[in-house]
Every structure is written in C-alpha cells, then in structure tokens.
C-alpha cells in the first residue's frame, strides 16, 4: 500500500513531546510522591508536609508574598495599562515595548543586576531581605500584569462608557461601574500570571534575600538537592494542583468574557 501523507501526521511531534516531557514527568512525580525510598506505597510525604511547622511556614510565607506581589503589581499596572490604551497616545505601542524589553534579558542576569542596584541604594538583602525580595518580585512580574490588562483595555466598549457619562455619571462612577467590570477578565488573568509564579519563585528570593527567605520554589529545590525525592515530589505535586486550580479559575472568567463578546455580535 502506498503511503499517503495527511495533515494530522504533523501533530505527531507535538504528541511525542507531550508524552516525553509532560505526561511522563508528571507520572514520575506522582509515583515518588506516594512511595518511600524503597519504592513502597506510603503517605509519609503527605503527612510530613502537613505536620511540619517549617514547611507550613514556608507555604504561609509564599502565600503572603504572592498575594502582596499580585496586589502591588495590579495597583501599579492597572493605571499604566489604562493610560497606555488611550488612543490619543500615538506612541503607546512604543511605551508598551519599553515595559517588555527587560524581559528579553536573561532572568538570572536581571535578578543579579537588581541586587546590585538595591545594594547601591542601601537595600541589600542582608539587611532588608523582605523589602529587597518584594522589589525584585514586583520588578520581574509587573510586565505580566501590564500586557494582559493593556490588551483588555484596548477592547473596552467605548459606547458604554460614553453612555454612562451621558446619563450623568461622574468619572469615578464611570470607572467603577463601567471600566472595572469590563476589565475583570484581564485582572483575573494578570493576577494568575503573577500569583502562581511568585509562589514557585526560586532565584529572586534566593539571590535578593541572600538565602534568608525560603519560598515554595526554594523548598522544592532544597528537597531535591538533598536527595529527598519523595518529599520534594509531593511538594511539586501540591504546587501542580494549585496551578491547575488557578487555570480552572482563569478559564472560567475567559469563557464568560468570550460569551459576552459573541453575544455583542
């Protein structure tokens, strides 16, 4: 039989990549998370994580940094995205590119450069580990807030805003009752793009705090570095579950936004 090429065969490399580098690693993580060093089934890693004060403290600290970083990035990024989305600014695309350009530089190099700058102004990690880490987190993740919000702001229904002003709403009321509700999908997407990466952050907290602050990502690394494969795997699996939950939340808001867009047309 003569072989006939079909377009669906182009998906074979993708499926091979998916199996080798996504599915198999996750299966290994699940296996190690619920076994001991001898390969026998056990819940020791689960019990250890939820009963260890140190690991729970790391989880609590990671949540605190993640929430604070997300809030700060939204407070800074939201007005910037709104201003950049103004059609009267002819150079808004160039300004947005200026926010993106630092992301072209290697992540580790940016972090070490941030450490040098903070040390120069007196905020070195040895004396101010929390402040230095927070500044580094905001600096690195702020573009992930500005870009999705900027894209949403460009799609705002201007007729709805004009109608609200014609009906007697002041600028504050227009902002609260029209602009914010329309930009909620972008806010949720931006928050998820900052919250979870902050929890799993490793380089920023390790470099800027000079090893004084341990976040969830550091905890995973420390377990694997000390050959605690089972405990590190369960912590990774727990992080993976949090990522999955956040993706479901984001998908829910994205689907609502898509349905609203289709109903307009």
Predicted local distance difference test score (pLDDT) of residue 251: 73
What is the rounded average pLDDT of the residues 98-116?
A: 82
DSSP 3-state of 41: strand
Q: How far is residue 205 from each of residues 130, 215, 245, measured CA to CA in Å?
A: 9, 7, 24
Return the residue matching tokens 């799993």.
Answer: 200
Give the percent of the chain with pLDDT over 90: 31
How far apart CA 174 and CA 166 sit, in angstroms, is: 10
Return the residue matching tokens 């040390």.
Answer: 119
Task: Tell me the helices (H) and strands (E) count for the chain, helix number first.
Answer: 13, 0
How far apart CA 204 and CA 213 sit, in angstroms, is: 10
Per residue in 218-233, pLDDT (tens digit) is 899 889 989 899 999 9
What is the rounded average pLDDT of the residues 13-39?
A: 91
Does residue 262 register a pLDDT over 50? Answer: no
Predicted local distance difference test score (pLDDT) of residue 127: 85
Predicted local distance difference test score (pLDDT) of residue 265: 41
Angle CA(24)–CA(216)–CA(108) in degrees, nearest 5?
A: 85
Per residue in 57-66, pLDDT (tens digit) is 999 999 999 9
Give the percent of the chain with pLDDT over 70: 89
């Amino acid at each position: 039989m003569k072989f006939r090429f079909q377009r669906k065969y182009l998906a074979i490399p993708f499926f091979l990549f998916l199996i080798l580098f996504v599915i198999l690693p996750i299966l290994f993580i699940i296996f190690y998370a619920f076994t001991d060093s001898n390969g026998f089934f056990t819940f020791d890693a689960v019990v250890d994580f939820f009963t260890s004060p140190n690991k729970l403290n790391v989880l609590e600290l990671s949540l605190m940094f993640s929430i604070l970083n997300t809030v700060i990035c939204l407070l800074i990024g939201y007005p910037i995205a709104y201003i950049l989305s103004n059609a009267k600014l002819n150079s808004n695309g160039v300004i947005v590119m200026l926010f993106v350009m630092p992301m072209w530089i290697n992540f580790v190099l940016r972090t070490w450069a941030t450490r040098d700058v903070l040390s120069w102004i007196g905020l070195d990690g040895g004396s101010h580990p929390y402040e230095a880490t927070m500044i580094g987190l905001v600096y690195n993740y702020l573009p992930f807030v500005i870009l999705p919000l900027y894209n949403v702001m460009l799609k705002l229904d201007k007729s709805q805003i004009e109608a609200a002003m014609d009906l007697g709403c002041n600028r504050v009321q227009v902002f609260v009752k029209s602009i914010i509700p329309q930009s909620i999908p972008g806010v949720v997407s931006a928050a998820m793009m900052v919250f979870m990466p902050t929890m799993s952050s490793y380089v920023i907290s390790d470099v800027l705090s000079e090893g004084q602050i341990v976040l969830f990502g550091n905890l995973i690394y420390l377990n694997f570095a000390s050959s605690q494969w089972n405990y590190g795997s369960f912590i990774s699996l727990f992080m993976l579950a949090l990522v999955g939950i956040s993706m479901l939340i984001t998908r829910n808001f994205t689907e609502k936004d898509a349905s609203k867009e289709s109903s307009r047309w």
